[in-house]
Homo-oligomer: A and B are copies of this chain.
Amino acid sequence: MPSRAIVSRALADLFRQLAHADRLRLIEELRQGERDVTTLAQALALPTSRVSQHLALLRAHRLVEERRDGRNHVYRLAQPFLADWILEALPLVDVRARLEEAEHIDAARALWSAPGPNSSH
């Protein structure tokens, strides 16, 4: 009865595709509707080649679908439920600690970039 192991592998494959911040952000963008590669690349501030590679991965796993419009390739979520389901995971993740940590970093950076009169300490 290897079905348990097979299902686990299938799920693990899915999770591996989602285990990358850029790809998650792509899915989040596509949640708002169809987008072409250049638009996505601008939104994420990434080179189009990288975005294209990520999209190829997601497409290979049937998470997104593609259609051509003129010389653009327009992508959309194959199953919009995917994006909803991902957001359901937010309570599982310790976002608060990370945001606070980022704010500390921002604060530290602000101190560095705007040194006071007696910056010699």
Q: Is B14's CB under 8 angstroms from A20's CB?
A: no
Quick one: closest B residue to A20, CB to CB?
A: B12
By size class, the interface of chain A is 35 or more
| Prevailing SS type, chain A contact patch | helix
Q: Which of A64-72, A88-96, A110-118 contacts B (4 or more CB under 8 A)?
A: A88-96
Chain B residues closer than 8 Å to A89, beta-carbon distance: 11, 14, 85
Chain A residues engaging chain B, CB cutoff 8 angstroms: 2-16, 18-25, 28, 62-63, 79, 81-82, 85-86, 88-95, 98-99, 102
Known contacts A79-B92, A85-B89, A95-B6; is A21 also within 8 Å of B12 by CB? yes
**Which residue from B6, B7, B12, B90 sits with its C-beta under 8 Å from A7?**
B90
Q: Is B9's CB under 8 angstroms from A99's CB?
A: no
**Distance in angstroms between the alpha carbons of A94 and B7 in the assembled complex:** 9
Report the minimal beta-carbon distance from A27 to chain B, rounded to whole angstroms. Answer: 9
Quick one: closest B residue to A12, CB to CB?
A: B21
**Which residue from B3, B5, B8, B94 sits with its C-beta under 8 Å from A10?**
B94
Q: Is A98's CB under 8 angstroms from B10's CB?
A: yes
Q: Is B91's CB under 8 angstroms from A81's CB?
A: yes
Report the minimal beta-carbon distance from A101 to chain B, rounded to whole angstroms. Answer: 9
